[in-house]
Structure formats: structure tokens, C-alpha cells
């Protein structure tokens, strides 16, 4: 199916509202990722700091689909996903505030276990509303216009991610307590913008009693999409910079990630046009294949100009994947199952994140050959899923 729907069919105010809460979520994750290991190590949970991310990733593999399915039921019953989103944002904000207050005092040894519990609950609360928020994109644009609507999310993700080194410097200077308060404020503002920018007939649509049937096969396909795509993205953003950095002494790994994300944001218009011209599935194949080639070329230890070219190609390739992933997932699932679709996809990505974390914590470092091997597996998984799923998008 050719994607040539007019932009006039897209609810652009709602799309920008979704972008606002996406930016807030990214800022909150930056704050959490920056201070979580530091706080746990200071409190004496050294081993837990290394494994908590893996545990939470595997936890997301189970919770994401469950939460997505529940959000679909709430949508059918009440005509809105707002209760799920509001609950998740509220709990996440309160946990940020509670943690901020705790960190202002010397926490007694006997109750220090509360901190990792709060961190885990915070991750769970973020899971509660992340999938339902992304599922709202299906209400903001018809299926054929999803790549155009998703351009805004791609730009916001790329730009906010590219600013991560600067934000890290600011958050480090602010301290953990202030940072968590800022995270709570960001989530509140993002949710408010989303609510105010979404038309009332979208927020509170007519409840539906009919539920579209769905097979275990399709459920497995979407989860596998998340696993395969998640593996490539995690390898690109977490392992690729570490391997290529020695060839670029003046650039650290965080800056390499920022460049990749910034290039993905800059390339959004040509990648969107390419998605509209080729279709979602061919664009996804092209992006994943390009990343596979980039990671494969690391075996030859590229340096200088060649290394810079690989980073630039990786940025465009990431843009292709990010531009096509949400239209792909929402396009192969019935509209009233959008929450389950995003939940399964994010669950697969959580599993992929845990796998890469385990690889990075192994006794031997991840070599270019090992990275290429896992990237090949992930490419094969997605290619198989794209082939056996006959939905034309």
C-alpha cells in the first residue's frame, strides 16, 4: 500500500502533544539513568546496581504487553486511555518527589532497601503509560499517514537525545535531589500539554463493546519485531560507540551517540519521503541492513574519515528505523489493539536491552565480531517476521 495520504488528515496538535510527553519521558530516563547507579553504589548496593537494569528490562518484557492489553480494555470501556496515562504519570512523579526528599537526609542502613524498591516501582509506573501514549498516535493519524505524523516524534527523540551530554553536565551540577524534582515537573508538564492538545472527541471517544480477534501468531510476531529491532538499536547506541571510539581520540562515546541521534533528526524529511515512496516494510529492511553493514565493517577497525562516515551512515540508518517502527507495529495490528501492539513491541525491546546488558557485563569485552554476530541474529529475526507477515504497509 502506497502511503500518500494528505497531511490534512493528521491531528497535528495531538502529535505535538505526544512529542511533549515523549521529551519529558526522555528527560526523566536521563535523570534516572544518570543517578541510579551512583545512588545504589553510595548506599552499598554495588552488585544490585549492575543487575537492576537487566532485571527491570526482563520485567518490562512481561509488564509492557499486560499494560498495553489493559489500556485497550479501558479504551473500549471508557472511550479513553487517559486513566492509564494519568495514573502512570502521577505515580512516576510522586516517586521522583519521594526519592528527592529521601536523598536530602542520611538514610538509615535499616531502610536503605526502600531506594531500589522505589526505583523499580518508578520503572513500572513509566511502563504503565509509555505504551498507551504511543498508541494514541493511531488516533492522531490514519494508517497511511503514520509515517508523516511520526516525523515529529523522530525529530524530538533525535534532538533531545543529541542534547544528552549537555543535559548530563547540567544534571550533575544540579544534584540528584533537584534532578528528580525536575523530572517530576517535566512529566507533569508533558502530560498537561498532551491533555490540552488532544481534541476532546479523541480523548473521550465512544466506548466500543466489540473486540477485534487476534492470534497468538501475530502476538509472537510483534514481540519478535521488538526483540530484533531492539537488539540492533541497543548494539548501535551502546556497543558501536565503544568499539569505534578508539579510532576517534577527540570524540568520546556519549558524543558519538549524540551525533547519531542528531543525524537521525536532521534526516527525518528524506527518510519520511523514502518511507512514503517505498513503504514501511522496505524502509525497515533498508535501515536494519545499513546498520548491519556498519557494524560488520567494524571488524576492519576503521579509522579517521572512514569512521566518521560510518557514524553518519549509522545516524541516517537509525532515522530510517525510528521513522518506520511505529507505523509498522500499529499497521499490522487492529486499531482497537494499538495498546497491546505497543506493549508487545516495547516488551521485546526490553528483552533486547537486557540481553545487551548481559553481554556488556560479561568477563570478556564485546568484540566487533561478537557485535556483528548478534546484529546478524537480530536482522534475521526481523527479516523473517517481515516475510511471514503478509500485511501490506
pLDDT tens digits for 311-357? 999 999 999 999 999 999 998 888 888 899 999 999 999 999 999 99
Neighbours of 144 (CB within 10 A): 18
**How far apart, in whole angstroms, are the C-alpha atoms of residue 197 and residue 193?**
6
**How far apart, in whole angstroms, are the C-alpha atoms of residue 377 and residue 131?**
26
- Is 223 domain-assigned? yes
Mean pLDDT for 177-192 is 91
pLDDT score, position 65:
92
pLDDT score, position 372:
94
Mean pLDDT for 163-179 is 90
Mean pLDDT for 364-371 is 89
For residue 242, what are the domain limits? 7-388
Neighbours of 301 (CB within 10 A): 13
**How far apart, in whole angstroms, are the C-alpha atoms of residue 214 and residue 370?**
37
Closest CA to 138 of 312, 373, 384, 393: 393
pLDDT score, position 301:
82
Mean pLDDT of the chain: 87
**How far apart, in whole angstroms, are the C-alpha atoms of residue 233 and residue 235?**
5
At residue 385, does pLDDT exceed 80? yes
pLDDT grade for 5, boundaries at 50, 70 and 90: very low
**How far apart, in whole angstroms, are the C-alpha atoms of residue 319 and residue 265?**
7
Between the CA of residue 33 and those of 22, 29, 164, 172, 241, what are the distances in Å? 16, 6, 11, 12, 18
- Is 322 domain-assigned? yes
List, in order, residues 6 or more apart from 363 with CB less than 8 Å away: none
Neighbours of 306 (CB within 10 A): 13
pLDDT score, position 189:
93
CATH number at residue 189: 1.20.1250.20
Per residue in 108-133, is it b (16+ CB within 10 Å) or e — as a string? Answer: eeeebeebbebbeebbbbbbbbbbbb
- Is 393 domain-assigned? no
Mean pLDDT for 244-273 is 91
At residue 371, does pLDDT exceed 70? yes
Q: Strands, DSSP E only, in the chain? A: none
- Is 141 domain-assigned? yes
More confident residue, 142 or 392: 142
Query: Given 3-state DSSP classes, what are the helix, strand and coil percentages for the chain, each rounded to the nearest 5?
Result: 85, 0, 15
pLDDT tens digits for 115-130? 888 888 998 888 888 8
**How far apart, in whole angstroms, are the C-alpha atoms of residue 136 and residue 202?**
9
The model's pTM: 0.90
More confident residue, 51 or 281: 281
Mean pLDDT for 16-28 is 92
At residue 2, does pLDDT exceed 50? no
- Count of domains forming the chain: 1
At residue 1, does pLDDT exceed 70? no
pLDDT score, position 336:
83
- Is 155 domain-assigned? yes
**How far apart, in whole angstroms, are the C-alpha atoms of residue 267 and residue 183?**
29
Closest CA to 29 of 180, 188, 199, 145: 180
At residue 202, does pLDDT exceed 60? no
pLDDT grade for 225, boundaries at 50, 70 and 90: very high
Closest CA to 178 of 100, 99, 92, 90: 100
- Is 26 domain-assigned? yes
At residue 4, does pLDDT exceed 50? no
Mean pLDDT for 264-283 is 92
pLDDT score, position 3:
42
Mean pLDDT for 5-30 is 84
pLDDT grade for 208, boundaries at 50, 70 and 90: low
Closest CA to 191 of 295, 329, 91, 301: 91
pLDDT score, position 145:
87
- Is 201 domain-assigned? yes
pLDDT score, position 104:
79
- Is 1 domain-assigned? no
List, in order, residues 6 or more apart from 390 with CB less than 8 Å away: none
pLDDT tens digits for 82-102? 888 888 899 999 999 888 888
pLDDT score, position 7:
58
At residue 360, does pLDDT exceed 50? yes
More confident residue, 209 or 4: 209
Amino acid at each position: 500500500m502506497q502511503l500518500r495520504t494528505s497531511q490534512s488528515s493528521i491531528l497535528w496538535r495531538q502529535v505535538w502533544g505526544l512529542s511533549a510527553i515523549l521529551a519529558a519521558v526522555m528527560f526523566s530516563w536521563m535523570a534516572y539513568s544518570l543517578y541510579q547507579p551512583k545512588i545504589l553504589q553510595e548506599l552499598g548496593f554495588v552488585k544490585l546496581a549492575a543487575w537492576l537494569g537487566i532485571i527491570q528490562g526482563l520485567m518490562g518484557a512481561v509488564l509492557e504487553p499486560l499494560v498495553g492489553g489493559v489500556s485497550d480494555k479501558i479504551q473500549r470501556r471508557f472511550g479513553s486511555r487517559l486513566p492509564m496515562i494519568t495514573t502512570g504519570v502521577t505515580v512516576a512523579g510522586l516517586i521522583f518527589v519521594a526519592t528527592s526528599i529521601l536523598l536530602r537526609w542520611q538514610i538509615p542502613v535499616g531502610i536503605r532497601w526502600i531506594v531500589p524498591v522505589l526505583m523499580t516501582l518508578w520503572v513500572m509506573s513509566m511502563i504503565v503509560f509509555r505504551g498507551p501514549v504511543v498508541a494514541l498516535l493511531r488516533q492522531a493519524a490514519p494508517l497511511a499517514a503514520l509515517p508523516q505524523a511520526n516525523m515529529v516524534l523522530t525529530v524530538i527523540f533525535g534532538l533531545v537525545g543529541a542534547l544528552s551530554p549537555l543535559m548530563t553536565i547540567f544534571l550533575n551540577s544540579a544534584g540528584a535531589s533537584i534532578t528528580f524534582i525536575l523530572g517530576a515537573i517535566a512529566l507533569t508538564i508533558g502530560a498537561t500539554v498532551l491533555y490540552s492538545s488532544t481534541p476532546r472527541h479523541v480523548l473521550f471517544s465512544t466506548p466500543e463493546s466489540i473486540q477485534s480477534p487476534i492470534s497468538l501468531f501475530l502476538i509472537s510476531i510483534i514481540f519478535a519485531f521488538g526483540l530484533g529491532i531492539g537488539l540492533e538499536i541497543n548494539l548501535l547506541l551502546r556497543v558501536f560507540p565503544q568499539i569505534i571510539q578508539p579510532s576517534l581520540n577527540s570524540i568520546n562515546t556519549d558524543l558519538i551517540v549524540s551525533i547519531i541521534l542528531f543525524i537521525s533528526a536532521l534526516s527525518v524529511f528524506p527518510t519520511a519521503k523514502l518511507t512514503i515512496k517505498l513503504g514501511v516494510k522496505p524502509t525497515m529492511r533498508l535501515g536494519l541492513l545499513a546498520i548491519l553493514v556498519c557494524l560488520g565493517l567494524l571488524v576492519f577497525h576503521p579509522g579517521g574519515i572512514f569512521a566518521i562516515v560510518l557514524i553518519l551512515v549509522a545516524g541516517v540508518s537509525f532515522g530510517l528505523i525510528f521513522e518506520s517502527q511505529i507505523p509498522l507495529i500499529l499497521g499490522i495490528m487492529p486499531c482497537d489493539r494499538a495498546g497491546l501492539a505497543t506493549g508487545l513491541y516495547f516488551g521485546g525491546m526490553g528483552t533486547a536491552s537486557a540481553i545487551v546488558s548481559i553481554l556488556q557485563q560479561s568477563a570478556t569485552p564485546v568484540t566487533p565480531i561478537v557485535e556483528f554476530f548478534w546484529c546478524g541474529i537480530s536482522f534475521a529475526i526481523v527479516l523473517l517476521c517481515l516475510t511471514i507477515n503478509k500485511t501490506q504497509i
